[in-house]
Structure 1
Amino acid sequence: MFAVFTITGCGNEVNHSPIMEHSADSHLSVGITFDQPGVGQRLADDTVRGFDVDVAKYIAQQLKVPENAIVWKQVSLADREVAIERGEVDFIAAAYSITAKRQERVAFAGPYYIATQDLLVRQEEKSIHGPSDLASRRLCSVKGTTSAERVRQQYASKVELIEYPQFDMCVTALLAAQVDAVTTDDLILAGYLAKNPELLRLVGSKFGEERYGIGLRKGDEEGRRRVNEAIQLMISSGAWKAALGRNFPDQEFQPSPPPVVGQG
């Protein structure tokens, strides 16, 4: 087992790069989700898989950290800022949307992917074509994400919002007809759709935009620069496209084109 180093200091700002210090020691603690197929998932054999995982591995490689020296840590979507601030992880790659509010507490490298929001419904559901059809319907999302609030504020103020700690709980509720739709980023929903293609479908409305960034300790400008360089190299080398194809092989789902890195 590899040791997990923590970051210490006063407040959120840093005048050094925790990521570079850890890469020099050839250990890196990376926060990911464990329950999102295609994005970040821990398998029965304790290995991890997903697009976020591949991005994190590529970054670690560019920082000269061997793959077997990465410590994967599960982070809840609602506690990602806390995990960074406390030094529980060196960086987070967990479908982490860049927002102004989050930037008050953490720094972001990237974006490394630009997702659009969509709706996942049961295959037989024909009356939901977009977020405007959700008035007085039961919509499930995960606490701490931006997706459900966008629906409520911009499309369906009377939607009945049900929040769970994890998206797999939302999908289970959808399959059991306890909710009418699940909303989040298309990349995440595509992973769950791949597990139940006969029972579920994506509406394909594609509204809103989420820029996925790598979450870093606030003030870590050197770390942010190095991670941006790694993301750009992943895109230009073809590894980025290959990772998307490997994790989302269904030809019906078309991922977004590469983003412009450094506009976080």
Structure 2
Amino acid sequence: MRTRTRTTGAIALAATAALALSACSSGGESGGGESGDDSITIGIKYDQPGLGFMEGDTPSGFDVDVATYVAEKLGYSADQIEWKEAPSAQRETLLSTNQVDMIFATYSITDERRESVSFAGPYFVAGQDLLVAADNTDITGPEDLEGKNLCSVTGSTSAQRIKDDYAAGVNLLEQPGYAECVTALVAGSVDAVTTDDIILAALGAQPANQGKVKVVGNPFSEEKYGVGLPPESDQCETVNEALQAMIDDGSWEASIQKHTEGTGYTPSADNPPTFDPCQ
């Protein structure tokens, strides 16, 4: 969407020659997306296996699959996507300063965020849930955590919400990241891990954890993951059309299943997200 410009004499000369050739031509193809731009810059998480994860120069995960599908519907091939890390605390800045064209990064739509950026979607509706050992039959919801050990990430409100609203006697353990929480769960140091259900499922589907953990499947909140767009963007309707196409052709559900396999997490295309009105 944003082309890169250079001002060297050689490139200026080449551009002049290209224009001359174009004037003699009967037509031609654009160099990229719908507006003829040569690339699109998309923000993702780099540290969420199964959702947005960067290994070397190779991104992977559900968010990456959705972003790639949307970009291709907008006219950009996979090799025209420039990936940029979008940590939670930097997402609004990246969009408002036009450092990225879009963000797919478990980016919950809220009224507060709408004051500074635009959104398309949501492309997924998550809910806070619990991850427990695969053979655990005692924990079926947050009320069952009384006296149990619960892990979440430092600074997250997820675990505190359970302590405040569901199980005052739960013992909270904080770790730097959710991967460390799942490691503690597999080792038996904690009884459960809590955050959004699809994040838990994606972590549980990692090779080291497969078959050892499961998502309880009793969500008790709602988080609508939207496509972050720059303020005043006119891309909302176009992005929503691409998202609908992904849902309709089965790619959306196939990607979720691929990245959460073996965790008991089975959201269905029979109940896809409903898009918010574009603003």
What range is the shorter-chain TM-score in?
Answer: 0.7 to 0.9
SS of residue matched to 1:97: coil
Return closer, same or farther for 1:202/1:152 CA change in 2, 3 Å cut-off.
same
Return closer, same or farther for 1:245/1:205 CA change in 2, 3 Å cut-off.
closer
Letter in 2 for 1:259: P
1:23–1:63 Cα contact (<8 Å) kept: no
Q: Which residue pairs with 2:200 in the alignment?
A: 189
Superposed, 1:21-100 pairs within 5 Å as 24-43=36-55, 45-100=56-111
Return closer, same or farther for 1:125/1:238 CA change in 2, 3 Å cut-off.
closer
List alignment gaps of at least 5 residues for structure 2. Answer: 6-31
Cα distance, 1:81 vs. partner?
A: 2.4
2:217–2:265 Cα contact (<8 Å) kept: no
2:42–2:103 Cα contact (<8 Å) kept: yes
1:228–1:262 Cα contact (<8 Å) kept: no
Letter in 2 for 1:131: P
Cα distance, 1:97 vs. partner?
A: 1.6
Inter-partner Cα distance in structure 1 for 2:168 and 2:4: 44
Q: Specify which of 256, 263, 267 is matched with residue 255 of structure 1.
A: 267
Cα distance, 1:93 vs. partner?
A: 0.6
Q: Which residue pairs with 1:118 in the alignment?
A: 129
Inter-partner Cα distance in structure 1 for 2:115 and 2:173: 27
Inter-partner Cα distance in structure 2 for 1:82 and 1:182: 30
Cα distance, 1:127 vs. partner?
A: 4.5
Cα distance, 1:199 vs. partner?
A: 3.1
1:77–1:143 Cα contact (<8 Å) kept: no
Q: 2:219 aligned with 1:206, yes or no?
A: yes
Inter-partner Cα distance in structure 1 for 2:263 and 2:132: 19
Letter in 2 for 1:258: P
Per-residue CA deviations over 1:67-98 (Å, capped at 9, x if unaligned) read 11111122223332233233332211111121
Per-residue CA deviations over 1:114-136 (Å, capped at 9, x if unaligned) read 12221112346554332123346
Cα distance, 1:197 vs. partner?
A: 2.9
Q: Specify which of 166, 172, 196 is matched with residue 177 of structure 2.
A: 166
Q: Which residue pairs with 1:227 in the alignment?
A: 239
Letter in 2 for 1:238: G
1:136–1:159 Cα contact (<8 Å) kept: yes
Select the structure of larger CA radius of gyration.
Answer: 2
**What's the Cα RMSD here?**
3.2
Return closer, same or farther for 1:248/1:103 CA change in 2, 3 Å cut-off.
same
Cα distance, 1:50 vs. partner?
A: 1.3
Q: What's the TM-score, normalizing by structure 2?
A: 0.74
**Taking every aligned residue pair, what percent have the same amino acid on both sides?**
45
Per-residue CA deviations over 1:34-85 (Å, capped at 9, x if unaligned) read 2323222223x53111111111011111221221111112222333223323
2:120–2:236 Cα contact (<8 Å) kept: yes
Higher relative contact order (CA 8 A, sep 6+): 1
Superposed, 1:136-151 pairs within 5 Å as 137-142=148-153, 147-148=158-159, 150-151=161-162
SS of residue matched to 1:214: strand
Q: What's the TM-score, normalizing by structure 1?
A: 0.78
Cα distance, 1:174 vs. partner?
A: 3.2
